Amino acid sequence: MTRTIVGALAMTLALPLAAAAAEIHGTVSEDGKPVPKGVALKLDCGGTTASASTDEFGGYSLKVGATGDCTLSIDFKGATGSLKVAVYDKPSRYDIAVKQESGKLTLSRK
């Protein structure tokens, strides 16, 4: 019986641990109104990336297999802006306001 328990424990420890998915979610707005459906977002966390697009309410959700300091990029009206975000092992909310002036896209947290 001891061999069975030791064997089962050894098999359990030998299995690779799945990387915990880190998630950020929130809304994207311009002048206080949700951006249209389909605005592209990308989250880059140390070489691990995730892409998504906004829904009809400006909402988004991105999951990556890494945590730490990351860069959130948004393509909107022909311009791209980025913002540094922290990604944790628990979901984090980032509501983003976009502002476009002279062809430059600026992102800020609401």
Mean pLDDT of 28-33: 97
Instruction: Give pLDDT tens digits for 34-93.
Output: 999 999 999 999 889 999 999 999 999 999 999 999 999 999 999 999 999 999 999 999
Question: Per-residue pLDDT averaged across 7-36, rounded?
Answer: 72
Rounded to whole angstroms, how far apart are CA atoms 35 and 100?
Answer: 12
Strands of the sheet with 40-45, listed across from one edge: 48-53, 40-45, 68-76, 79-87
- Closest listed residue to residue 35, CA positions, set 96, 108, 86, 91: 96
CATH fold group of domain 19-109: Immunoglobulin-like (2.60.40)
Instruction: Tell me, yes or no, if the pTM score tops 0.85.
Output: no
What pLDDT was estimated at residue 103? 85
